[in-house]
Amino acid sequence: MKLKPAEISRFIAAPPPAVRAALIYGPDLGLVRERARALLNSLTDAPDDPFSVACLDDHVLKADPARLADEAGAIAMFGGRRVVRIRDAGDAAAKALKLYLDQPGDGFVVLEAGELTPRSALRKTVETAQQAAALACYADTTESLERLAAQMLSAAGLDIDPHVLSTLAAQLGADRQLSRNEIDKLILFKGGKGTVTLDDIAASVGGADGRGVDDAIDSAAGGDMQALDAHVRKLVDSGTAPERIIRSLIVHMQRLHLVVGRIERGGRAEDVLRSVRPPVHFARQPAVRRQCAVWSRRRLDAALTMLADAEAQARSAGPLAEAVVARAMMSLARAAAMGRRG
């Protein structure tokens, strides 16, 4: 069976007794690992004990499909439910899993996998079995990243205003574990109770890579194609996730849309930039003022539509995501350059 997103947390906390296997898969490998670990904690008191949890590899199951049923049927040395964990599972595990599910037993199999297409034999085996559950792990949305950050900061005794939280979420990436690492860096930087500010985020989240993202964004939104090319190359070389770049760019263009709208209704650029929330950092205000002269709300509407399409493409493009994002940023820069000449 295939679980809906709203059902996943409840399933992990208390797996139904009738379910004997769970496939946790998707492009967000950090979230895959996090959910697999949480499920193991729910299934056994000793998730790191090899006598309670057996670990098998995909190639072992390919050579000996019956091995899975044998391992799951073994008696846990210290009592409790026998658990088998399969990392990097692929379609080679499908036959072994079917043999295991066809036999009675009270063991449990946890399979971890990357992105699997709907045609995947392993996905089909799990989704069509009543004794197995498929848990998809797709990239965090802005809303889920905000929830994650708010929960972690609250647990650490830190407060954060909503507009600062949205800025933090835009700095996080498409991998849950990497996002947690960045939030942990912020918590460590604060070193105790207090309120998280934009300066705290700029100083601790992403480091120099965060400044590089801002430089690339300002080059794209300002129509400086030559500088944009150099900034994008630096970001790619530093390993910055393309999903993070495009999400940060979208957040910036949404804020620019708000600023331009207020200016078009008669506001002075300097006043609007000081009053908008989250506030524009003073170091970026000259660049944003130039962008306000280039863009109109109508043209920003079109740009945001294009960027939303690019973000959706990047999420499913795999290794080509960098090219998708770079192309979208160059398109944005060309549109800005045309507006500047106009």
Give the residue ranges of DSSP H helices in 295-342: 297-316, 321-341
Using DSSP's 3-state secondary structure scheme, residue 240 falls into coil
Taking only the tens place, the pLDDT of each residue in 241-291 is: 888 788 889 888 988 998 898 898 888 888 887 777 666 666 778 899 999
Please tell me the distance from the alpha carbon of residue 55 to that of residue 283, in angstroms, as a whole number: 52
Are 109 and 175 part of one and the same domain?
Answer: no
What's the number of domains the chain is made of? 2
User: Is 102 exposed, middle or buried (CB count within 10 Å of its CB: 0-12, 13-18, 19+)?
Assistant: exposed
Are 154 and 297 part of one and the same domain?
Answer: yes
CATH number assigned to the domain comprising residue 77:
3.40.50.300
Q: What is the pLDDT, as a whole number, of residue 163?
A: 85
CATH number assigned to the domain comprising residue 185:
1.20.272.10
Are 121 and 243 part of one and the same domain?
Answer: no
Give the residue ranges of DSSP H helices in 4-116: 5-13, 29-43, 58-63, 67-73, 92-101
Q: What is the pLDDT, as a whole number, of residue 41?
A: 92
Are 80 and 161 part of one and the same domain?
Answer: no
Are 80 and 116 part of one and the same domain?
Answer: yes
Angle of helix 321-341 versus helix 242-264 axis, rounded to 10: 20
Q: What is the pLDDT, as a whole number, of residue 211?
A: 67
Per-residue tens of pLDDT for the chain, all 342 residues: 999 988 999 999 999 999 999 999 987 788 898 999 999 999 988 887 777 788 998 888 888 999 999 888 887 665 567 899 998 898 889 999 999 999 888 899 999 998 888 899 999 999 999 999 999 988 777 788 899 999 999 999 999 999 889 888 877 766 787 788 889 989 999 887 899 998 888 778 764 455 678 889 999 999 998 899 888 888 877 777 888 788 889 888 988 998 898 898 888 888 887 777 666 666 778 899 999 999 999 999 999 999 999 988 988 888 888 999 999 999 999 999 987 765
> Which residues sit opposite 21 in a β-bridge?
109, 132
Are 24 and 153 part of one and the same domain?
Answer: no
Please say which residue of 104, 136, 168 terminates a domain: 136
Q: What is the pLDDT, as a whole number, of residue 102?
A: 92
> Which residues sit opposite 112 in a β-bridge?
24
Are 124 and 86 part of one and the same domain?
Answer: yes
Contacts made by residues 161-169, CB under 8 angstroms, sequence distance 24+: 161/195, 163/277, 163/278, 164/196, 164/197, 164/198, 164/201, 164/278, 166/142, 166/251, 166/278, 167/198, 167/201, 167/251, 167/278, 168/196, 168/201, 168/205, 169/142, 169/145
Q: What is the pLDDT, as a whole number, of residue 136?
A: 93
Q: What is the pLDDT, as a whole number, of residue 35?
A: 94
Please say which residue of 87, 112, 136 terminates a domain: 136
Please tell me the distance from the alpha carbon of residue 195 to that of residue 159, in angstroms, as a whole number: 4
DSSP 141-186: PHHHHHHHHHHHHHHTTEEE-HHHHHHHHHHS-S-HHHHHHHHHHH
Domain span at residue 66?
5-136
Single-letter amino acid, residue 266:
G
Are 36 and 158 part of one and the same domain?
Answer: no
Please tell me the distance from the alpha carbon of residue 204 to that of residue 231, in angstroms, as a whole number: 20
Cβ within 8 Å of residue 234, ≥6 positions away: 212
Q: How far is CA 20 from CA 73, 81, 112, 167, 200, in A?
A: 11, 10, 15, 41, 46
Cβ within 8 Å of residue 253, ≥6 positions away: 221, 300, 303, 304, 307, 332
Please say which residue of 103, 136, 169 terminates a domain: 136
Q: What is the pLDDT, as a whole number, of residue 209?
A: 52
Q: What is the pLDDT, as a whole number, of residue 208?
A: 45
Judge whether 194 and 159 are in contact, CB under 8 Å. yes
Are 120 and 218 part of one and the same domain?
Answer: no
Q: What is the pLDDT, as a whole number, of residue 126?
A: 96
The 3-state DSSP composition of the chain as helix, strand, coil percent (nearest 5) reads 65, 10, 30
Are 185 and 92 part of one and the same domain?
Answer: no
Q: What is the pLDDT, as a whole number, of residue 223?
A: 93
Structure tokens at 279: 């506030």
Q: What is the pLDDT, as a whole number, of residue 52?
A: 79
Structure tokens at 12: 């992990």
The residue to which tokens 């970026």 are assigned: 284
Q: What is the pLDDT, as a whole number, of residue 92?
A: 85
Are 131 and 171 part of one and the same domain?
Answer: no
